[in-house]
Amino acid sequence: MESNQKVVIVTGSSSGIGLESALLLGRNGYTTYATMRSPEKDTSIKAAIQKEGLPIRVIQLDVNDDSSVMNAVDHVISEAGRIDVLINNAGYSLGGALEDLSTEEIKSQFETNLFGLMRVTQAVLPTMRKQRSGRIINISSGIFGFPGLSVYVSTKFAVEGLSESIAYELEPFRIKVILIEPGFVKTNFAHAMVVAKKAQDPASPYSKMMQKINASASELIKNASEAELVANIILDAASNPSPRLRYLAGKDVESWAAGKKNMDELEFFNMIKRLTA
């Protein structure tokens, strides 16, 4: 590896934002470790790597598994000798009103979206700290509450709090922390949603509400951004000499963020209520 080649780890690269980011970073000369929990799955990334001769390696990493994370990070360090950028992208959503969620379902959601992100971040930090350089890019979305996704949103609000806080801790080591806030993005995300068991019961008191939310979400997804748009913003965040803490990704999220900033709380509440009714 050339010493000026930056090394990046992307989690959840088997589809969507992770896949597009890994490809874009590879195409831009980053030595890219496209990690996924099941690399044996046939994904388009392997074909692209071969066809285009990209500097991308596909390795196994399940963010829920301590030894998988340690093995992956050790592999990168022993092969590439450094880690410049970590993109914490792996995640999924848990659908259902809070009352319909089991503790097990809630814990699993936090395990992947928050504890998984913490686990991978902790694994790369000693290397970045020794280098006195690095970037942690966290894929969030937590800028407002959304019905039927309360625990998913909670994990992302936690990622926001974590990121804002560690930005202070890591600044003395010249490690930057960045939050990417996508709106709706056309990926496998909706399909991969785990719908809570009780929420699937038509007798749930939230059943009608969930049906309306799902119908509205299907409409919102029609105008969703492409994953390439988010990948381009991630590339900018990885390469910009002076990255910001937060990047919005998508016209929809830009308008909601403006609403949250400019409207009073009741006005904003009513806007989201209308969107999901």
Ligand X SMILES: NC(=O)c1ccc[n+]([C@@H]2O[C@H](COP(=O)([O-])OP(=O)(O)OC[C@H]3O[C@@H](n4cnc5c(N)ncnc54)[C@H](OP(=O)(O)O)[C@@H]3O)[C@@H](O)[C@H]2O)c1
Return the structure tokens found at 247.
Answer: 């990047």
Closer CB to ligand X, 107 or 130, in the complex: 107
- Contacts of residue 152, Cβ cutoff 8 Å, sequence gap at least 6: 93, 94, 95, 109, 113, 146
Judged by CB under 6 A, the residue of 133, 188, 232, 239 near ligand X is 188
- Contacts of residue 9, Cβ cutoff 8 Å, sequence gap at least 6: 33, 35, 61, 72, 73, 76, 83, 85, 86, 87, 120, 124
- The candidate with the shortest Cα–Cα distance to 182, out of 249, 134, 95, 88, is 249
What CA–CA distance (Å, rounded) separates 238 from 198?
41
The verdict on whether 216 is a catalytic residue reads no
Closest approach of ligand X to the CB of residue 265, in Å: 22
Residues 207-266 that bind ligand X (CB under 6 A): none
Closer CB to ligand X, 127 or 140, in the complex: 140
Identify the active-site residue in 13, 68, 156, 163: 156
Closer CB to ligand X, 8 or 201, in the complex: 8
127 contacts ligand X (rule: CB under 6 A): no
**Contact in structure between 148 and 209 (CB atoms under 8 Å):** yes
184 contacts ligand X (rule: CB under 6 A): yes
Closer CB to ligand X, 130 or 251, in the complex: 251
Active site residues: 14, 140, 152, 156
Interaction site with ligand X (CB under 6 A): 11-12, 14-18, 36-38, 62-64, 89-92, 112, 116, 139, 141, 182, 184-185, 187-189, 192
